[in-house]
Structure 1
Amino acid sequence: MGLTNPGDGETRFVADDKVTTDLQRWLPDFDLIVGTEEEFHIAGGSTDTLAALRAVREVSEATLVCKLGPMGCVVFEGAIHDRIEDGVLVKGVQVEVLNVLGAGDAFMSGLLRGWLRGEPWQTSAAYANACGALVVSRHGCAPAMPTEDELFDYLDRRDEVPRPDIDQRLNHLHRVTTRVPAQWPEVLGLAFDHRRQLTDMAREEYADSARLPKLKKLLVSAAEEGAKLGGITTPAILVDDVLGQEALNQASGKGWWIGRPVELPGSRPLRFQHGDDLGACLRNWPREQIIKCLVFYHPDDEISLRLEQEERLRQLYQAACAYGLELLIEVIPPSSMPGDDTTLPRSLQRLYNLGIRPDWWKLPTMSDAAWQAVGETIEREDTYCRGVVLLGLDAPMDDMKRGFDEAAKHPCCKGFTVGRTLFASASRDWLAGRIDDAALVARVAKIMPS
């Protein structure tokens, strides 16, 4: 309103009779009026809060909600009496304030959530106070706004959480309940993030490895065509940025499910393709791309190896959270070690125990007992996990289909991302010059299961 100089937004109150008069002409039109004490001072023309509220009441029958900062807020539906406590006084929650930007918007969103549902003012104001507290306890404005699940969790534990910004449970809830899209009903995808295997294939066929980026672009087209043939509305792919950067560019921006690997192929202990500076690697990734990391892991690994792999996965998970990216962890038990129906469930449980909660798991085919145990582990540890996708491991098609049939019985399995079983034969023929681009696309699209 021009009462302060630009950049002087910290000044919360400047008396001005004209502003008060102008505001009071509009106040009768409202059913709900919400403001800080200073805002009511302006609207009511007095620095005495009760006197200002009475002045507003003289021109408006609206419900008045006066925000009292960390003390909470007070609601008046009728007359303004002699004490602030005569209204519906709802105490605030105590948090360490890191940033006040967005606190008013957050307060209003919580209040409206209750008011528009006809909930009591005590409940609506509790929502409002909690939303405001969560936002001021974080750095940021709109990105810090709580979701409903997060709000209710905080309300249940508010006295135990003076620092919401460092509460792992709240941070996890904020992360997983703001994902876009909110749900992925199923993932039926083509995986061609292979680097070493395709380079070997090109060498075996005496083909120029410089053709591999084009091969990956053709496989993007095959995935799209296969999805159309199978009636799949959202194609899914796994593709790397070493040989497949052009393929990634081709698929991006279409709303597809896109996984992008970060591991150095075949590394054990785990190493990252582009080095240990995960921030430099991930900071420019599009939000739609999912970090995929394959780890050859066994819960009975030699202790120093196991701890090293776990620390790298923990670093990756923290980086994924910091950059707002989804994470898929692919776990393959090393073939050199004995395994049974407990191997994969124990692997997942160990990583959960370390606070690693990926959005997705990618796992090999399992027995019914192992699937049951995996599903129970995910349900117990993170009900917000998007689910498991199956990997193919270059298995024969009949074996792969039997694995699909077993997995389909378990709700935690959301689909598959299969690679060489689907594209290896056609890719060899294309690299060797036995088929052209169109034939490659058609062959791979035709055999994609749906």
Structure 2
Amino acid sequence: MLTGTQDMKKQSSTNDIVILGQPFIELYGEQIGSSLKEMLSFKKTVGGSSASIAIGCARLGLRTSLISQVGEDEMGQFVINTLQKEMIDVTQVKKFSGFQTPLILRGTQSKNIFPTIFYPNAHALLRNDIDSSLINKNSTLLISAMNFFIENMNHISRKAMISANENHVKIVLALDHFPSDIAAKDITTTLQTVLPLCDIIIGHEDDFQTATGILNTHSALKHLRTLTNATLVINTEQGGFVINDQIPTPWYNTVSHTGFKVNNHYNYAAKNAFISSFLYGWLEKYPLEKCCEFAMASKIITQSRHDSTPDLPSHDELMTYLSDQNKIVTQMLEAPHFSHIHYASTHVARQEQLLAFNFGYHQQWQKIAQPFNADETIIHHAKNLVALGLKDIAANTPYSSIISDDDIQPHILELFPQEHTIMRSLESPGEIPLRFKGDPDLSHMMLHWPQNHAAKISLIYHPDDRYVLRGQQEATVNLLHRACRAMHHELFIELIPPAASLSTASTISHIMQRFYEIGIYPDWWQIMPPRDQRSWDSITRVINDNDRYCQGVMILGHLATLEQLPLMFDFACKQVFCKGFVIGRSIFQQSLEQWFARRIDDQSLIAAVATSYQKAIDLWNDARQKAEHVNASKQEVA
């Protein structure tokens, strides 16, 4: 029997848990309550209970490995990339040539009805035996009950369980969604032969009934106890329950947690949330009551959203939820701050720094070109040459980025590596109140953006603005913030106090504080370089108090020359949250004007742009190194 305080981890273990099972590409319908034939849109994610449980475990901080195979195709690479981003060990997720990664279409038609279609034969990938040593060096093996009804997986799973049992690796059997085309008696007969090898059997109350073929839960559990001594973990609508010994009467008179309720009772990915969170608590040696609390809380969090794998909570999210139980739970789940924790701790690939070049507004290019009588064709050609100058530098600088408005030609954006952030300026330049150019339906516009594109606005705002104006601008920014979160694009907010307003050491920090108070959490802030340490201290304090997930602050050097950058960078790099810069045409302004005047050729302009951008990056890196050296010296003295 198992206890929550049992010493689970081997000193030699590579991972806390290894999971054997088949991941899928899952397209889940966005219209809750619709059948698949009526579905209007789908979202893509990695699915299958094995992969979903692996993601749930990894998000909670468990060292997690998945053993499986995917097709040698783009969807297979998507699976691997997704698992890697979740910090899952994918060294044993092998590519299988000549076969497509399987696809699932899944809907949520009602509480317990999830219409599902598999394309192609989604259960035929694991064709070869696995190396038992991959399992034996881990502390725990999890196998989905589904495995025993899949060609080849049945044999491989049984072999893995026998090897794990012989090497004292704990075995967890996850009772999940059984195939609808398998007869109930076949499910019962198949599972009876593997139950004696299990240390934990975990699943929903309905799945225990299906596994035994007995519709009464008490009778089903009593029958199960005759077949196995495993700890039984039962997930119900009322709570989570653990039975270590004989089945009590009533059966739920045992270790449990029944404290959470939610209006939405969809139970697809929520099952996997329950399983992964219970195992997190168990592997981290928490008492079993606490394990049930983790499991139920994660289940409720997942159910409160779309009930799909991306909705599984992170460790920070779970602990925040449990620490705030004095609040009304439904309000907590819907609070902007709580939603932000989920977004920031699960969706964002954090960047150490961001070194951006701003193309500027098209009107600014027209103003530069006007003295030289350059038409639109020449201006577009100039932009293209600047992009070519930036291209090679960007290819060798992982944190390089560009900012452009929507007037820039698409082929220019295609010159930059897909993994680099491209910020798209959405505002009409200089307008107060803030107004967006182009499509007013922001979510519809972002639907057509590549994943590496981000929304960026320049906001002319001051805490002393008229109440009506502030409210109007805040509502507009909130619309953008919500669209960015819904479409999973980063948000950059550039703060610009009005030129005629009074700015103090706390003006920028007051603006930041206000936006945090109304539930707006940009990924990055962009500000003019503060001139004194008091300003930076205020900014640091506000970010620390409100958003420890903030990626950073970028300083604006739109009008700065190369000669002015060292002083600006040296001061900025000493600040905790300053993680990058934005520069513009001013670093090669003279060369650009010479090109418009036809005093230099295309290659000379390209070279001037590349040299200037690289110089700015070098100056930034030098400033960071000096700041790091100073900080290290201070720590040694302390």
Taking structure 2 as the reference length, the TM-score comes to: 0.64
2:414 counterpart residue number:
249
Tell whether the 8 Å contact from 1:224 to 1:235 is kept in structure 2 after alignment: no
Tell me by how many angstroms 1:445 deviates: 1.9
Give runs of aligned pairs for residues 119-268 of structure 1, distance below 5 A: 119-158=286-325, 160-162=328-330, 165-181=333-349, 183-227=350-394, 232-251=397-416, 253=418, 255-268=419-432
Query: Structure 1 residues 313 and 103, CA, compared in 2 at 3 Å: closer, same or farther?
Result: same
- CA drift of 1:106 comes to 1.4
After superposition, the Cα gap between the structure-2 partners of 1:57 and 1:242, relative to the gap in structure 1 and judged at 3 Å, is same
Matched, 1:429 2:594: yes
Contact kept, 8 Å, 1:283 with 1:323, in 2: the verdict is yes
Q: 1:112 to 1:438 in 2, by over 3 A?
A: farther
Q: Give 5+ residue unaligned stretches, structure 2.
A: 1-106, 115-176, 618-638
Answering whether residue 223 of structure 2 is matched by residue 55 of structure 1, we say: yes
Residue 372 of structure 1 pairs with residue 540 of structure 2: no
CA spacing shift, 1:306–1:51, aligned 2, 3 Å? closer
Distance 2:200 2:382 in 1: 62
2:398–2:420 Cα contact (<8 Å) kept: no
Q: CA RMSD in A?
A: 2.6
Q: How much has 1:266 moved relative to structure 2?
A: 2.1
Give the aligned residue type for 2:289. Answer: Q
User: Hey, what's the Cα distance between the residues in 1 that align with 2:409 and 2:519?
Assistant: 32
Question: Closer, same or farther in 2 for the Cα pair 1:56/1:220, shift >3 Å?
Answer: farther
Distance 1:283 1:121, change over 3 A: same
Task: Please say if residues 427 and 457 of structure 2, whose CA atoms lie closer than 8 Å, have aligned partners that are also in contact.
Answer: yes
Percent of aligned positions that are identical = 32
1:358-369 to structure 2, matched below 5 A, reads 358-367=522-531, 368-369=533-534
Matches within 5 A, 1:26-425: 26-68=194-236, 70-97=237-264, 99-158=266-325, 160-162=328-330, 165-181=333-349, 183-227=350-394, 232-251=397-416, 253=418, 255-274=419-438, 276-367=440-531, 368-425=533-590
Structure 1: how far apart are the matches of 2:188 and 2:309?
30
d(CA) in 2 for partners of 1:35, 1:301: 56
Q: Alpha-carbon deviation of 1:410?
A: 0.7
Q: Please, what TM-score do these two structures have when normalized by structure 1?
A: 0.89
Q: Which amino acid aligns with 1:168?
A: P
Tell me, what secondary structure is at the counterpart of 2:211?
A: helix
| 3-state SS of paired residue (2:346) | coil
1:175 positional shift? 1.5
Instruction: Give the deviation of 1:284 after TM superposition.
Output: 1.9
Aligned length: 440
Residue 445 (structure 1) aligns with: 610
- CA spacing shift, 1:133–1:353, aligned 2, 3 Å: closer
SS at match of 1:239: strand
RCO higher in structure (CA 8 A, sep ≥6): 1
Q: Which runs of 5+ in 1 are unaligned?
A: 1-5
Q: CA deviation at 1:108?
A: 1.3
Of residues 71-80 and 433-442 in structure 1, the stretch that sits farther from structure 2 once superposed is 433-442
Question: Which one is further off, 322-331 or 351-360?
Answer: 351-360
Q: Which whole-Å CA distance do the structure 1 matches of 2:214 and 2:473 have between them?
A: 65
Cα shift at 1:164:
5.3
In 2 relative to 1, CA 301–81 (structure 1 residues): closer, same or farther, beyond 3 Å? closer
Residues 125 and 362 (structure 1), Cα distance of their counterparts in 2 relative to 1, 3 Å cut: same
Relative to structure 1, is the Cα distance of residues 218 and 29 closer, same or farther in structure 2, using a 3 angstrom cutoff? farther
Question: SS state of the match for residue 251, structure 1?
Answer: coil
Q: Comparing 330-339 with 161-170, which one deviates more in the overlay?
A: 161-170
Q: Please tell me whether the aligned partners of residues 33 and 63 of structure 1 are also in contact (alpha carbons under 8 angstroms).
A: yes
How many Å separate the matches in 2 of 1:62 and 1:26?
A: 11
Q: Whole-Å Cα distance in 2 between the matches of residues 373 and 195 of structure 1? A: 35
2:212 paired with 1:20: no
